[in-house]
Amino acid sequence: MNTARKVNWKPLPDAITEPEVNVKLTWSADERTRLCIERQAKLMGFENATAYLVQALAATIAGNEEDTILADDGRILRGRAGYGPDHLPQNV
């Protein structure tokens, strides 16, 4: 069994969650892209394309926040930076 190494980072202490993301969008797209977005929104059960885009953006923002770590020296890093090729925590 591998034991965790001592690391100099911690998860983001107050990461925003998907339900907390509050954005309002105004968007435009070329015809082909607009049709694709509208199609995907309908397939996913959204009331309109804007609601689909807002949810996609909120999911991305929250996912990125969840994967953010803080190094002891104040650096903000992607969580993957905290793991080595052996998938064990490392100092960053």
**Which residues have C-beta within 8 Å of that of residue 78, sequence separation ≥ 6?**
67, 68, 69
- pLDDT tens digits along 2-49: 555 678 899 999 999 999 999 999 999 999 999 999 999 999 999 999
pLDDT at 69 > cutoff 70: yes
pLDDT value for 1 = 46
pLDDT at 84 > cutoff 70: yes
- 88 versus 36: the higher-pLDDT residue is 36
Q: Where are the domains of the chain?
A: 25-82
pLDDT value for 3 = 52
Residue indicated by tokens 């397939």: 43
